[in-house]
Structure 1
Amino acid sequence: MAAFITKRLALTVLVIIVTSIVAFMLVHLSGDPAAAMAGEGATDADIAAVRETYGFNRPLYAQYLDWVAKLLQGDFGRSYYLRMDVGDVLAEHMPITATLGALALGFALLLSVPLGVFAALWPNTMIDRFSLWLAVAGQALPSFLFALGLMYLFGVYLRWLPISGTGSWQNYIMPAIALGYYATPAIMRLTRSGMMDVLQSDHVRTARAYGLSPWRVIIKHSLRHAIIPVVSLAAVQLGFMLGGSIVIETIFSLKGIGYLAWESIQRADIEIIQAILLVIATAYALLTLVADLLNAALDPRIRVS
């Protein structure tokens, strides 16, 4: 197990390093940051002054190494627009996105895993057809349209929930449902297919032959094995929610990382954009690492291989 963890940690560090290079290069090669910061009416002299002031006239590798050296010291840089430390800005917005992502993933798992299990237990029944319909609707319905529908029904018409802001836990209910519903179809289908395969395996037939209760066979001997690929998918989906929540956060006026990224792109705040890309990519890599370790704990064959 120690060798397995070491290999996965090394791979995660390598992914983070490569991602930092890609994030830095994409931001700087997508356009002239000095021209974007100077504004539309800036002259060549103004752009040259900005380039000189912020060191954009140096080679890219030198700028990257300086950026990494500061990151290793916990310094994400300083926002050109907000005149604040980027670390403080991220610390203000990240909890909102993290809370939204965790609630959205929890909703997706609570809805999709039971549906997938029931659909596998009773294939070609109304439960199976309902699960299939839910999966198709989740893939076909755009998240922003679903979010607007929730906002109108529960916020405007019924007035049960607030439609914007982060004043209480109720503000997260509709955004979490709108964001989590998009991940439901994939998790549900994967749970269903995994359960159907496991239910036909020899060890499940043996457990039934020993006279174990049906729910013990389902939970202990079937779901434990079928849930292994779902763990990996859930980690990927959570990373997607953290990085792709910009639409939901904008609709419900949640000042999270997604909303901050959109604002930073609008005002060409390079330091914040770079930091957000790195933080989201690092979260993706760490979530994948956690999923690999959980899968190895659930199935010893993974760490042996």
Structure 2
Amino acid sequence: MLGFVVRRLTVALLVAVAVSWLSFGLIFMAGDPAIAIAGSGGSAADAAAVREAYGFDRPIVVQYLDWVTGVLGGDLGRSVYFNMPVSEIVAARVKVTLLLGFLSFALALLVAVPLGVVAAMFRNSIVDRLALGFAVLGQAIPSFWLGLMLIVVFGVWYGIVPISGTDTWRGYILPVLVLSYYAMPAMMRVTRSGMIDVLDADYVRTARAKGLPGWLVITRHALRNAVLPLISLSAVQLGVLLSGSIVIESVFAVNGMGRLAWESLLRSDLPVVQAIILILALIYVALTTLSDVINALLDPRIRGRRA
């Protein structure tokens, strides 16, 4: 197990290095960043001043090494628009996005897994068809449209919850419902598919033949093996919820990382965009690595495979 963890951590470290290259290089791919920061109304002299102030006139390798050194020390640069450290701006917004993402993920998991298990136990029945219909509907409805409809019904017509902001816990209700419903279909279908496969396995039939209670067969024998693909999917889904909430944060006026990324792009605030890309990409790397380790703990066969 230790060897497997070391291999996965080594791969994660190499991916993190590649991510740092990409996040640093992205701001140069769209053109001269000095011109973008100077703005459309800036002159050549303004661009030259920006280039000198931010060190864009130095060799690209030197710029990258300085940037990485600063990141390792907690310095993500300085915002062009706010004229303050990027780390302070991101720290103020990342808490909202993390809370929104984890709440949405938890709700999606609590609904999708039992629904997938029940659908598999009663496959091809009306219960199974309703569960699949629920999943198809969730994949078909645009998240922004669902968010607007919830605002109209529960915020405007009935006034039950706030329609924007997260000043109180009630402000998280609608965004969490929309984001969780976005994540539920894939999680439910993977759970259902995995349960159908293991319910027909010999060891499950043997457990039933021994007279074990049905709930014990499902939870201890079937679900443990069926949940392996779900763990890998959950890591990806959580990463999507944390990084892909730009639309939902805009619809509900939530001041999180997604909205900050959009605003920074509009303002050509490249240091902030660069930091957000790096942070979200590293979150993805950490989540996928963690899911691999958890799968290896649950299934000893995975430990012997190459990372």
Return the letter of the residue paired with 1:275: A
Corresponding residue number in structure 1 for 2:163: 163
Corresponding residue number in structure 2 for 1:261: 261
Return the letter of the residue paired with 1:199: L
Residues 1:66 and 2:66 are matched in the alignment: yes
Write the distance in 1 (CA, Å) between the matches of 2:30 and 2:59: 16
Residue 46 of structure 1 and its aligned partner are, at CA, apart by 1.5
Residues 1:43 and 2:52 are matched in the alignment: no
Corresponding residue number in structure 2 for 1:197: 197
Write the distance in 2 (CA, Å) between the matches of 1:234 and 1:19: 21
1:197-216 → structure 2 map (5 Å cutoff):
197-216=197-216
Residues 1:250 and 2:254 are matched in the alignment: no
Corresponding residue number in structure 2 for 1:224: 224
- How many positions carry a matched residue from both structures? 305
Write the distance in 1 (CA, Å) between the matches of 2:268 and 2:137: 37
Corresponding residue number in structure 1 for 2:89: 89
Return the letter of the residue paired with 2:276: I
1:47-126 → structure 2 map (5 Å cutoff):
47-126=47-126
Deviations 1:99-136 (A, max 9, x none): 00001111111111111111100011111111111111
Paired residue secondary structure (1:173):
helix
Residue 185 of structure 1 and its aligned partner are, at CA, apart by 1.0
Write the distance in 2 (CA, Å) between the matches of 1:89 and 1:280: 15
In structure 2, runs of 5+ residues without a counterpart are none
Paired residue secondary structure (2:160):
coil
Residues 1:302 and 2:302 are matched in the alignment: yes
In structure 1, runs of 5+ residues without a counterpart are none
Deviations 1:212-237 (A, max 9, x none): 00011011111111011101101100
Corresponding residue number in structure 1 for 2:131: 131
Write the distance in 1 (CA, Å) between the matches of 2:31 and 2:114: 48
Write the distance in 2 (CA, Å) between the matches of 1:80 and 1:167: 27
Write the distance in 1 (CA, Å) between the matches of 2:47 and 2:80: 15
Write the distance in 2 (CA, Å) between the matches of 1:104 and 1:214: 30
Deviations 1:167-209 (A, max 9, x none): 1111111101111111111111100010000000011011001
Write the distance in 2 (CA, Å) between the matches of 1:44 and 1:27: 19
Write the distance in 2 (CA, Å) between the matches of 1:185 and 1:253: 25
Return the letter of the residue paired with 1:216: L
Residue 66 of structure 1 and its aligned partner are, at CA, apart by 1.0
Write the distance in 2 (CA, Å) between the matches of 1:107 and 1:148: 20
Residues 1:2 and 2:8 are matched in the alignment: no
Corresponding residue number in structure 1 for 2:270: 270
Residue 150 of structure 1 and its aligned partner are, at CA, apart by 1.2
Corresponding residue number in structure 1 for 2:293: 293
Seq. identity, %? 52
Paired residue secondary structure (1:94):
helix
The 4+ residue runs of structure 1 with deviation greater than 6 A are none
Paired residue secondary structure (1:163):
coil
Return the letter of the residue paired with 1:184: M
Return the letter of the residue paired with 2:194: G
Write the distance in 2 (CA, Å) between the matches of 1:73 and 1:286: 19
Corresponding residue number in structure 1 for 2:32: 32
Residue 143 of structure 1 and its aligned partner are, at CA, apart by 0.7
What's the TM-score, normalizing by structure 1?
0.98
Q: Which moved more, 1:165-174 or 1:200-209?
A: 165-174
Residue 304 of structure 1 and its aligned partner are, at CA, apart by 2.6
Paired residue secondary structure (2:66):
helix
What's the TM-score, normalizing by structure 2?
0.97
Residue 31 of structure 1 and its aligned partner are, at CA, apart by 2.2
Return the letter of the residue paired with 2:94: M
Write the distance in 1 (CA, Å) between the matches of 2:162 and 2:302: 45
Corresponding residue number in structure 2 for 1:237: 237
